[in-house]
Amino acid sequence: MLSYVVITPARNEALFIGLTIQSMVAQTTRPLKWVIVSDGSTDGTDEIVKTAAAEHPWIELVRMPERGERHFAGKVLAFNAGYERVKDLGYRAIVSLDGDISFDPEYFSYLLGELAADPGLGLVGTPFREASGQSYDYRFVSLEHVSGACQVFRRECFEAIGGYVPVKGGSVDHIAVITARMTGWKTRTFTEKACLHHRQMGTAQRSVLKSWFQLGVKDYAIGNHPFWELCRTGYQMTKTPFFFGGLALASGYSWAMLRRLERPVSRELVAFHRREEMRRLKRFFTGSRLPAAGLRHPPEHI
């Protein structure tokens, strides 16, 4: 079994992080170290983690200074603070784990087993289900897209992509997945297991429609092809919130395109990403099995 370390950036997760801790403590294969980075939490998150760390020496709390603005770059800065605590350990896999999910005791032994079985796999994960029971239709969700709720990297892959890119607007997890494939690694979501997500995604500070608008902005930033986004919008209109979710998604993408917002990724990555999208759409419309990213991938939910 591959040895592994876990890093959890956590900002005001007092309602849910206890469930994540329970899940980690119950794992049949425990990590060498689990660093939970409190990103300026003010709600009691630190106290919960301190209690767990006192009982389990492989758990460590790192405290980041408080910051007024909540953004995805902050998540990366917190992750990097945790990375400093583990980078010299002899691990074979490194995990980015959100502090609002739970999972079964065999979760990591299963994923590490899949990683060990295929040397070409650089990044693996599972789907996540909402507490409401909602999950994703894998006719349209990529089996190559790995949700940011839990991303398990082979060490060599993580180092090859240079870690996470600190982008304020988001898509840091998605950028990592695309970059891994662009550098020659395979990425894979395994549907045999799932984790349970306890906070409604994308609503930490925004309403649901604002979240879909912002997701459209991020779709433009990551380089989604306009035709791909049109198909994605049409699909989203058939899902909750009916019509308006898709409209908000299209509005966000159009707003960003009209303003010609600067993209935080290279032209090479945009071109690679669009080639993948067009190949997948061709397979979809010709009735072939979709082997890769579908019309809808789970938005980040920090």
Q: What is the CATH number of the domain that holds 128?
A: 3.90.550.10
Of the CA atoms within 13 Å of residue 138, those in its CB half-sphere come to 17
Give the pLDDT confidence score for residue 278 in this predicted structure: 94
**Which tokens go with 17?**
């992080």
Give me the sign of the Cα torsion angle 127, 253, 247, 292.
negative
- Sheet-wide strand order for 93-97: 59-64, 33-39, 4-10, 93-97, 150-154, 121-125, 186-189
Contacts for 149 with CB less than 8 Å, ≥ 6 apart: 97, 98, 101, 125, 128, 195, 197, 298, 301
Give the pLDDT confidence score for residue 36 in this predicted structure: 98
The answer on 27 and 78 residing in a single domain is: yes
Contacts for 172 with CB less than 8 Å, ≥ 6 apart: 72, 73, 75, 76, 148, 164, 165, 166, 300
Give the pLDDT confidence score for residue 222 in this predicted structure: 95
Q: How far is Cα 251 from Cα 236, in angstroms, rounded to an integer?
A: 13
In a domain, 301, yes or no: no
The answer on 235 and 144 residing in a single domain is: no
The answer on 272 and 249 residing in a single domain is: yes
In a domain, 22, yes or no: yes
Cβ contact 147:154 at 8 Å: no
Boundary (domain end) residue, out of 141, 167, 197: 197
The answer on 31 and 138 residing in a single domain is: yes
The answer on 112 and 257 residing in a single domain is: no
Give the pLDDT confidence score for residue 135 in this predicted structure: 61
The answer on 214 and 177 residing in a single domain is: no
**What's the number of domains the chain is made of?**
2
Is residue 239 packed enough to be buried (19+ CB in 10 Å), middle (13-18) or exposed (0-12)?
middle
The answer on 269 and 158 residing in a single domain is: no
In a domain, 55, yes or no: yes
In a domain, 158, yes or no: yes
What pLDDT tens digit does each residue of the chain (302 aa) get?
A: 899 999 999 999 999 999 999 999 999 999 999 999 999 898 899 999 999 999 999 999 999 887 666 656 888 999 999 999 999 999 999 999 999 999 999 999 999 999 999 999 999 999 988 876 656 555 555 789 999 999 999 999 999 999 999 888 888 999 999 999 999 999 999 999 999 998 765 544 458 899 999 999 999 999 999 999 999 999 999 988 899 999 999 999 999 999 999 999 999 999 999 999 999 899 888 876 544 433 334 444 32
The answer on 109 and 42 residing in a single domain is: yes
The answer on 144 and 188 residing in a single domain is: yes
Give the pLDDT confidence score for residue 292 in this predicted structure: 40
**Which tokens go with 244?**
């308006």
In a domain, 302, yes or no: no
Boundary (domain end) residue, out of 197, 228, 252: 197
In a domain, 56, yes or no: yes
Any idea of the CA torsion for 131, 136, 141, 147, to the nearest 10 degrees?
A: 10
The answer on 143 and 14 residing in a single domain is: yes
In a domain, 8, yes or no: yes
- Which residues form the domain of 76? 4-197
Question: Model's pTM, two decimal places?
Answer: 0.88
The answer on 156 and 121 residing in a single domain is: yes
Give the pLDDT confidence score for residue 298 in this predicted structure: 41
The answer on 238 and 152 residing in a single domain is: no
In a domain, 247, yes or no: yes
